[in-house]
Amino acid sequence: MSERFDPAQADTRWQAAWDEAQCFKADDTSSKPRSYVLEMFPYPSGRIHIGHVRNYTMGDVLARYKRMTGHEVLHPMGWDAFGMPAENAAMEKGVHPGGWTRENIANMKAQLKRLGFALDWSREIATCEPEYYGHEQALFLDLYEHGLVYRKESAVNWDPVDQTVLANEQVIDGRGWRSGALVEKRKLNQWFLKITDFADELLEGLSSLDKWPEKVRTMQENWIGKSQGLQFRFDLSDGGKVEVYSTRPDTIFGASFVAVAADHPIAQGVAAGNPEVQDFIALCKQGGTTAAELETAEKLGFDTGITARHPFTGAALPVFIANFVLMDYGTGAVMAVPGHDQRDFEFATKYALPIPRVVAASLEEADTPFDGEAESGDGVIVNSDFLDGMSVAEAKADVISRAESGGWGEGKTVWRLRDWGVSRQRYWGTPIPFIHCEVCGVVPVPKKHLPVTLPEDVDFSTPGNPLVRHPTWKHVDCPQCGKPARRETDTLDTFVDSSWYFLRFASQPGDRPFDPAKIAQWLPVEQYIGGIEHAILHLLYARFWTRALARIGKVEVKEPFASLFTQGMVTHETYERRNPENGQPIYFAPGDVERTAEGATLKADGAPVEIGRVIKMSKSKKNVVDPDEIVATYGADAIRWFMLSDSPPERDLPWSEAGIEGCARFVQRLWRLFGQYDASAEGEDKAVDRKAHQTVAAVAQDIESLGFNKAVARIYELTAVIEKAKPSASRSEAIRKVLLLVAPMMPHLAEEAFATFGQGLVAEAGWPEVDPALLVEDEVTVAIQVKGKLRDTITVAKGTAKEELEALALASEKVQRALDGAEVRKVIVVPDRLVNLVA
């Protein structure tokens, strides 16, 4: 073996060897037990970032370990390739979205290969290719045929600059996330998937996902939002009625006003012929639509002059048009109880409306004032006539019973979850496979005509969807009557693309989306790994899509991911100076900064820069590290080892130059250790044998539970023990075991060393075997004290008799020197732990 391990040579050589041997190609016909390991596939933005490296390293270690333990492993990779960033690039750089995307895919694929990931590239997919999205169109039509897809007019967030619908999450402070334009509310015909039909299933299914993080299950449970409450009607002073829904009918005596959405019929009726109301409604339509925005935005209202009659007290409650009420939620009108709802509290405070207390810790605290905010917790009912003294649950039941017997309301279960609007007014997405005919209406594209492909000759010089403006693409004949018609120009939400890609990875026939028999072999995914930011939408939509396909008989599996792991982020400190003109920070990249014991200076001028907080790596803060530069400097194995060490994988991992340098040194340390392997060595070292076998067993458990930092620590410990041991057959075998232990983590180093052992590819080797007898501690270290002070230790068989322990202690030279001829008056023996000689 050479004196030093050269990653620049070894990395490319062994990556080529794995490709040639097709080591990581999954075999559908294998009789081995199957393991499907999957990391969330990336968007091809152009570069792999450090967060990707951590995510994919974790999955790679597990996949390689599963192969070593006798499994047939499916570990694929692909690209979530549709979406707005490609269209933005087309508008800003004058390139085609397809060319931009495919060039990025090529770059990022090369980066992944340089890191040595054990991926089955034969199953690579990109959602922007017709051979993928054509099958997606077929599945969409299958769901349509079974009544799970429909089209209706719906209120949407409309960006007047980008000329597209925005999801609620893309509206920030009432403005489009990209354009910054004030968002408008519009009514558009949109395509929807009936996810609400599966609300109960999706909620109940969470209980079976015991290998998912509890926080993710809670987030999904809250998003689905099942609640029991009362839907009832207020009589209005103008002779009409307004229907509201409340999850807290127990607080009905605390109602001080009614609020309706800007597009509620009451609001629209008041606005007719009243410019002031019309202006207020227009203002409301510029606001945000997410729950977070509604909670934080300034509360605005307009008094309609109409009052609602309280069903119990007969009090006249003013009816307001309010910007924090949305027509899409509930009935578009709310019973406002400001004492026990924070949005109502802020509104009532602004407009000087009553804020009565109707829930308190006890009856004696019925008159306790509010301390600047609403109290939404539990307690007993107060200031509520016949409800006083009841618990919240008792009062809810009582009010619902009285409403139902009085005929003015009924108990009802409602869901926060809304049907999934999948229409997007943009080019770079899956064309929705429908045709609009003036004679036949909306007609599905016959499956024999799929895929409906995107036209290549599109113009992005004008904002909006190029498909609408295309001179020929949208013009087709109706497949039913043959008369001129037009294609649907909306494309599908990209979350649809990622809601079934894991099925296509498992089975890729040319004539259909997948083979159900192969899906049954591979699914559910044994281990899914990805960021917590996908806890709700992607994971919920993937669960829905799988259940929908199961309902219509396409698959048997109902939950796609048996186990879910959400990894922490990779973080880095920031370096900045303040702009003297405006005081704004100017950020500098780590490579431009020299770190010293005193702080940091800019290499360009030697002047100090301020070291900022350790935060998530971000291009805008320039605190990013280029994986290619790290691989070029230290090798793939060093960066992989760094990603696994120190921090628990679910926590953030702070990046440091000292850390990666330490990992590179350990790579060389192992290389020197592997060079000491001697297949002809003789002799036994029981302590080394035991430590090696115990480490193999423990590391296996750590990898299975994704406790990679624990596995790394154990390998450090074993390495140190071996380095101190004398040459023996036991020591050489322990070195071989270390090589196999690090093979999933440092595959290039392991292959290079394994080749010198003459034992084939380590990528095809088995996990080291464990002797169960060596896992049992049959020896113990016993402390020997003289007059309470430690003087020596002895290693003995576990369970050694007291008399023998006493004899061994007295035979110790160190003990005899400590006694210095004094008579031993008393001997205290604690079996397997301690001998104390009292002189």
Residue 771, classed as helix, strand or coil, is coil
How far does the chain reach from its first CA to its final CA, in angstroms? 58
> β-strands 149-159, 164-166: how paired?
antiparallel
pLDDT recorded at residue 392:
96
* CA dist list (Å): 131 to 134, 430, 450, 513, 824: 6, 11, 10, 9, 88
Number of other CB atoms surrounding residue 360 within 10 Å = 18
DSSP code per residue over 566-619: EPPPEEEEEEEEE-TTT--EEEE-GGGEEE-SS-EEETTT--B-EEEEEEE--T
Rounded distance, CA 551 to CA 258, Å?
41
Contact (CB, 8 A) for 692 and 736: no
pLDDT recorded at residue 293:
61
Contact (CB, 8 A) for 693 and 738: no
Banded pLDDT at 457 (limits 50, 70, 90): very high
pLDDT recorded at residue 294:
64
> β-strands 257-260, 316-322: how paired?
parallel
CB burial class (10 A; 0-12, 13-18, 19+) of residue 383?
middle
- Asked whether the predicted pLDDT for residue 622 surpasses 80, the reply is yes
pLDDT recorded at residue 807:
93
CA 182 to chain centre: 30
Contact (CB, 8 A) for 387 and 452: no
The secondary structure of residue 769, as a DSSP letter, is P
Give the residue ranges of DSSP H helices in 656-811.
Answer: 657-674, 686-704, 708-724, 729-742, 747-757, 802-811
What backbone phi and psi angles, to 5 degrees, belong to 642? -60, -40
The secondary structure of residue 795, as a DSSP letter, is E
623's tokens: 């605190």
Residue 293, classed as helix, strand or coil, is helix
Which of 3.40.50.1980, 3.40.50.300, 3.90.740.10, 3.55.50.30 is the CATH number of 226-415? 3.90.740.10
DSSP code per residue over 5-45: --HHHHHHHHHHHHHHHTTT---TT--SPEEEEEEPPPP-S
DSSP code per residue over 397-409: HHHHHHHHHHTSE
646's tokens: 């120190």
b/e map of 201-216 (b: 16 or more CB within 10 Å)? ebbebbeebeebeeeb
751's tokens: 């292959």
Task: Determine the residue type at 261.
Answer: A
Mean pLDDT within 219-242: 94
Mean of the per-residue pLDDT values of the chain:
94
Largest CA distance in the chain: 117
- Asked whether the predicted pLDDT for residue 620 surpasses 90, the reply is no
Rounded distance, CA 467 to CA 458, Å?
8
Side-chain half-sphere exposure of 569, counting CA atoms within 13 A? 10
- Asked whether the predicted pLDDT for residue 363 surpasses 90, the reply is yes
Question: What is the tens place of the pLDDT at every residue in 550-606?
Answer: 999 999 999 999 999 999 999 999 999 998 888 888 999 988 999 888 889 999 999
Rounded distance, CA 672 to CA 753, Å?
10
Number of H helices, E strands in the chain: 26, 37
CA 451 to chain centre: 31
538 Cβ neighbours under 8 A, 6+ residues apart: 40, 495, 498, 499, 530
Rounded distance, CA 426 to CA 466, Å?
7
Pick from 518, 508, 467, 459: nearest CA to 488: 467
Question: What is the tens place of the pLDDT at every residue in 630-681?
Answer: 999 999 999 999 999 988 999 999 988 899 999 999 999 999 999 999 999 9
Number of other CB atoms surrounding residue 222 within 10 Å = 12
Contact (CB, 8 A) for 73 and 35: yes
Give the residue ranges of DSSP H helices in 94-183.
Answer: 97-114, 130-145
Rounded distance, CA 187 to CA 762, Å?
61
What backbone phi and psi angles, to 5 degrees, belong to 310? -65, 130
pLDDT recorded at residue 287:
66
Residue with tokens 């999450």: 169
Query: Between vectors from CA 755 to CA 749 and to CA 759, what angle results, nearest 5°?
Result: 125
Mean pLDDT within 73-99: 93
Residue with tokens 């019925």: 366
Number of other CB atoms surrounding residue 779 within 10 Å = 14
Banded pLDDT at 815 (limits 50, 70, 90): very high
Mean pLDDT within 793-800: 89
Give me the residue spans of the domains in the chain.
Answer: 24-134+495-566, 135-194+420-494, 226-415, 570-663, 779-838
Residue with tokens 């760094």: 642
State whether the Cα torsion 754-756-761-767 is positive or negative.
negative
What backbone phi and psi angles, to 5 degrees, belong to 68? -65, -25
Residue 794, classed as helix, strand or coil, is strand
R_g of the chain computed on alpha carbons: 34
Rounded distance, CA 813 to CA 802, Å?
19
Banded pLDDT at 718 (limits 50, 70, 90): very high
**Which residue(s) pair with 601 in the sheet?**
594, 608
pLDDT recorded at residue 381:
98
Task: Determine the residue type at 587.
Answer: Y
CA 474 to chain centre: 37
Residue with tokens 């709700």: 536
Task: Determine the residue type at 552.
Answer: I
- Asked whether the predicted pLDDT for residue 528 surpasses 70, the reply is yes
* CA dist list (Å): 804 to 34, 141, 794, 796: 53, 82, 12, 10
Rounded distance, CA 324 to CA 288, Å?
9
Mean pLDDT within 806-823: 92
What's 570-663's CATH class? mainly beta
Give the residue ranges of DSSP H helices in 148-290.
Answer: 199-205, 214-224, 265-271, 275-284
b/e map of 11-36 (b: 16 or more CB within 10 Å)? beebbeebeeeebbebeeeeeeebbb
Contact (CB, 8 A) for 225 and 285: no
Across 348-362, 468-482, 575-589, least confident range? 575-589
What's 24-134+495-566's CATH class? alpha beta
Higher pLDDT, 421 or 597: 421
Contact (CB, 8 A) for 544 and 202: yes
Number of other CB atoms surrounding residue 238 within 10 Å = 14
Q: If one looks up domain 779-838 in CATH, what number appears? A: 3.10.20.590
Rounded distance, CA 268 to CA 283, Å?
14
Which of 3.30.1460, 2.170.220, 1.10.3470, 2.30.29 is the CATH number of 135-194+420-494? 2.170.220
Task: Determine the residue type at 173.
Answer: D
* CA dist list (Å): 777 to 247, 687, 691, 693, 781: 59, 10, 10, 12, 11
Banded pLDDT at 169 (limits 50, 70, 90): low
Question: What is the tens place of the pLDDT at every residue in 291-348?
Answer: 556 666 789 999 999 999 999 999 999 999 999 998 877 789 999 999 999 999 999 9
Rounded distance, CA 40 to CA 56, Å?
9
Rounded distance, CA 358 to CA 252, Å?
8
511's tokens: 């004539």
pLDDT recorded at residue 163:
78
pTM of the model as a whole:
0.84
Residues of the chain with pLDDT > 70, as a percent, come to 98
In this structure, the chain runs to a length of: 839
